[in-house]
Amino acid sequence: MKKLEVLAIPMYFATMGAEYLHHRSRARVVGELPGDYERRDTLTSLTMGTASLVVPLVAPTLLAPITPGKGRYGKALVAGAVGAAAATTIADVVVRRAEADLAAEPSEAVDPTAHHNRRRRVRLARKVSRVGGVAAVAAGGVAITTAWGHATRSGALWRRRVVPDLGTGVLAWGVALVGWDALYYWNHRFWHESRFMWANHVMHHSSERYNLSTALRQSVTDPFLFLVPYSSLSLVGVRPEMVTASRSLNLLYQYWVHTDAIDRLGPFEEVANTPSHHRAHHGVNPQYIDRNHGGILIIWDRLFGTFEREDETVVYGLTKNINTFNPLRVATHEYADMFRDVADSRTWRDRLSFVLRGPGWAYERHRLDAGADGAPAAVTAAPEVAIA
């Protein structure tokens, strides 16, 4: 069967067309709003939406050979990651010792040859640590995420289920749909709270517009995520095909909430994710950041303290907008920034912090490293600050 979201493509274009006409008419009365369509922005969203459908078709074939536990080159990938990590660690030690020797040199009696050699060792070791650190993190990340995806595939967990087959009745669909939505809440929350997860999700938030085309601006790097597996529903008797169908239904539901043409929906707002709640989720206003992660239901946010009502006018986009409509740049800019931070780091604590901690921590770390007045600050290890 084709995925439901592919079958829904005519509906996507019909509703976007209707919204465009509505917004064009509205603009003649109230002027331009962030929900209005902009040609380049819309084309970027449509391009990324298309890519998000194509990539899952080719990614399994491309990644299978290097997937640990599955592909013939999986062990080589792991060995490469370990080797790069070892080389980086040795280079870090060389840098620290050489810099300590340079700092201890008596200014009145410096041996020019020894001084030159120490500085040369520092430069060479730093090059090794820059390349090795990025290689270790990248190769290790691919190895871990692909191995996790292979180990938690729905068919494998279905064979290990601890609850008998629930069948296809009301109970089974209830467990599938509600369970999928609960897992989506936590995965969506992690997308915002861990930088390597955010690097995948940031593309969806990159538009400074908010309309139905924004819903199609989906990520293309899902194979490199470390998710709470939706396939775990198969452990409790949900058939794999129902897990897949629940994904499609959840995704289709979330399409219509990407609009500013619909205001509040009364009592429905108390239970379900709505355009109002999701507008707040896409806001960069301080009170809206990392709020309203629910897919179909908003009760998860209410239960776990991440709910925020739409109050003041929402400002869309990123806290630091990238000012481009290039889909490739939209899809990769946070990965590029993250790996640049890894390359510039001098300790494994810093490298892993720039990858695993929240994007807010990375931004604050940059500010601290620059110093309040713009001068370099003496910060060499990850600061203990409570930033998501």
Mind giving me the DSSP string for 8-29? THHHHHHHHHHHHHHHHHHHHH
Q: Which residue has the higher pLDDT, 56 or 85?
A: 85
- Residue by residue, DSSP assigns 346-366 as SSHHHHHHHHHS-HHHHHHHH
Q: Residue 351 falls within a domain, yes or no?
A: no
245: in domain: yes
**Within a domain: 357:** no
- Is the C-alpha dihedral spanning 132, 135, 140, 143 positive or negative? negative
Q: What pLDDT shows up at residue 119? A: 87
Tell me: do 84 and 27 sit in the same domain: no
pLDDT for position 159: 94
| pLDDT at position 2 over 70 | no
Instruction: With H, G, I as helix, E, B as strand and everything else as coil, classify residue 283.
Output: strand
Judge if pTM exceeds 0.75. yes
How would you classify residue 327: left for phi > 0, otherwise alpha for psi between -120 and 50, otherwise beta? alpha
Structure tokens at 296: 């179909």
Question: What's the angle, vertex CA 281, arms to CA 188 and CA 28, rounded to 5?
Answer: 140
Number of domains the chain is built from: 2
Please, how many CA atoms are within 13 Å of residue 147, restricted to the half-sphere of its CB?
14
- Which amino acid makes up residue 287? Q
Cα separation, 140 vs 160, in Å, equals 27
Per-residue pLDDT tens over the stretch 195-242? 999 999 999 999 999 999 999 999 999 989 989 999 999 999 999 999
Shared domain check, 55 and 38: yes
- Asked if 270 contacts 279 with a C-beta cutoff of 8 angstroms, the reply is no
251 within 8 A of 219, measured Cβ to Cβ: no
- Tokens in use for 208? 């400074």
Q: Evaluate whether residue 202 is within a structural domain.
A: yes
Query: Are residues 83 and 50 located together in one domain of the fold?
Result: no
Domain boundary among the residues 319, 337, 367 is at 319
pLDDT band at 381 (very low <50, low <70, confident <90, very high): very low
Q: Are residues 60 and 89 in the same domain?
A: no
pLDDT of 108 strictly over 70: no
Q: Would you give the end-to-end CA distance of the chain in angstroms?
A: 40
Lowest mean pLDDT among 114-128, 129-143, 315-329: 114-128
Take residue 39 and report the two structure tokens written for it: 């040609």
Return the pLDDT at 376: 43
Q: Do 58 and 186 belong together in one domain? A: yes
Phi-psi region for residue 194, left (φ > 0), alpha (ψ -120 to 50) or beta?
A: beta
Give residue 54's domain range. Answer: 4-65+163-319
Q: Has residue 146 got a pLDDT over 90? A: yes
Residue 12 resides in a domain: yes
User: Tens digits of per-residue pLDDT, 310-335?
Assistant: 999 999 999 999 999 999 999 999 99
> Do 219 and 182 sit in the same domain of this protein?
yes
- Same-domain status, 216 and 244: yes
SS3 266: helix
Range 305-309 average pLDDT: 98
Mean pLDDT over each residue of the chain, to the nearest integer: 92
Shared-domain flag, residues 91 and 134: yes
Q: Quick one: 83 and 205 in the same domain? A: no
Among 107-116, 134-143, 269-278, 302-311, whose mean pLDDT is lowest?
Answer: 107-116
Write out the two tokens for 114. 């020894």
Whether 154 is in a domain gets the answer no
Lowest mean pLDDT among 79-93, 195-209, 261-275, 369-383: 369-383
pLDDT in tens, 156-206: 999 999 999 999 999 999 999 999 999 999 999 999 999 999 999 999 999
The kind and range of the H/E element at 113 are: helix 112-151
Is the pLDDT reported for residue 383 higher than 80? no
44 and 184 housed in the same domain:
yes
Those residues whose C-beta lies under 8 Å from the C-beta of residue 75, and which sit 6 or more positions away, are 68
pLDDT in tens, 15-70: 999 999 999 999 999 999 999 999 999 999 999 999 998 998 899 999 999 999 99
Nearest Cα residue to 140 out of 322, 300, 334, 342: 342
Question: Is the separation of the CB atoms in 315 and 279 below 8 Å?
Answer: no
